[in-house]
Amino acid sequence: MWKRTFDLLLSGIGLIVSIPLWAVIALAVKLDDGGPVFYSQTRVGKDCREFISWKFRSMAADSGRKVGPLPASWNDPRITRVGRLLRARAMDELPQLWNIFRGEMSFVGPRPEWTELVERFRREVPSFDLRHSVLPGLTGLAQIYGHSELSRRKKLRYDLLYIRRRNVWLDFRLVLVSFLVTFAAGWEMRSPKLPGLTRRLRPRNTAPKTQPAPARLIISSSPGNPAG
């Protein structure tokens, strides 16, 4: 109940406050290449139920038909000029606030996967469906401590660790860190976001005297780095 209340209140406020930003982004996407503003995908959510996820389009309009469900890579030529700016700050995912408001997603949870990829991941990782025991999320341990090119098995370990340890304070801290990553335009980093954010915020004219310690998971009593 607390999680749904948190999601409902925050997504409702976010939808209202971000209305002017939606208009600016929609205009920028349209002027960039003349294609559609929104892009919809079928994703797998809680209890393996499918739902339609909406995003501002960040790739060429016909890229989905040409290559199918292929995750974006570093310097992916399918990404538009406006799309690169949106993806760095996760602004392309603003429409998913509506998915959260409807109860199809949460702010924090495992990243929802494309329907076409779930069958393949099930064959590769037998315990993959365990991540579908909770609502998928915009952000989470795997999104912050991993990256899009991390192996599916390692991402699953982060997802399962979150499911075991989830509570209101962990969700609040993960949302706070996610806002920091957004402000630093760090979502497209091909490395863990929290250590990368620390490096970005460090003054350029100062260097650490000692080797920095690895970033620690922001949960208590964790059994160590799940990706090790």
Please give the model's pTM, rounded to 2 decimal places. 0.81
Residues 6+ apart with CB under 8 A from 116: 68, 69
Residue 44 has a pLDDT of 95
At residue 188, the pLDDT reads 79
Upper half-sphere CA count for residue 26 (Cβ side, 13 Å): 9
pLDDT band at 1 (very low <50, low <70, confident <90, very high): confident
Is the CB of residue 72 less than 8 Å from the CB of residue 59? yes
Dmax of the chain from CA atoms? 51
Task: Please report the DSSP string for 147-176 in residue order.
Answer: -TTS-HHHHHHHHHHHHHH--HHHHHHHHH
In tens, the pLDDT along 186-216 reads 887 777 776 655 555 555 554 444 444 556 6
* Backbone angle region of 217, left / alpha / beta, with phi > 0 → left and psi within -120 to 50 → alpha: beta
Please name the helix (run of DSSP H) or strand (run of DSSP E) that holds residue 88, with its range, or none.
helix 81-88
pLDDT band (50, 70, 90) for residue 4: very high
Please give the structure tokens belonging to residue 124. Answer: 């590769």
Cα separation, 79 vs 52, in Å, equals 21
The tokens of 101 are what?
């408001």
Q: pLDDT digits over 59-77, tens only?
A: 887 765 555 556 666 677 7
Using an 8 Å Cβ cutoff, are 72 and 27 in contact? no
pLDDT digits (tens, 9 = 90+) for 144-160: 887 777 888 999 999 99
Which residues lie below 8 Å from residue 171, measured CB to CB, with a gap of 6+? 3, 6, 107, 108
Coil, strand, or helix at residue 79? strand
Rounded (10°) angle between helices 168-183 and 2-17: 20
Q: Closest by alpha carbon to 174, among 104, 94, 109, 226? A: 109
Q: Please report, for the chain, the start and end positions of each structural domain, with discontinuous segments joined by +.
A: 2-61+77-197
Picking from 156, 157, 106, the residue whose alpha carbon sits closest to that of residue 135 is 106
DSSP assignment of 25-44 equals HHHHHHHHHS--SEEEEEEE
Phi, psi dihedral angles at 52 (to 5 degrees): -95, 120
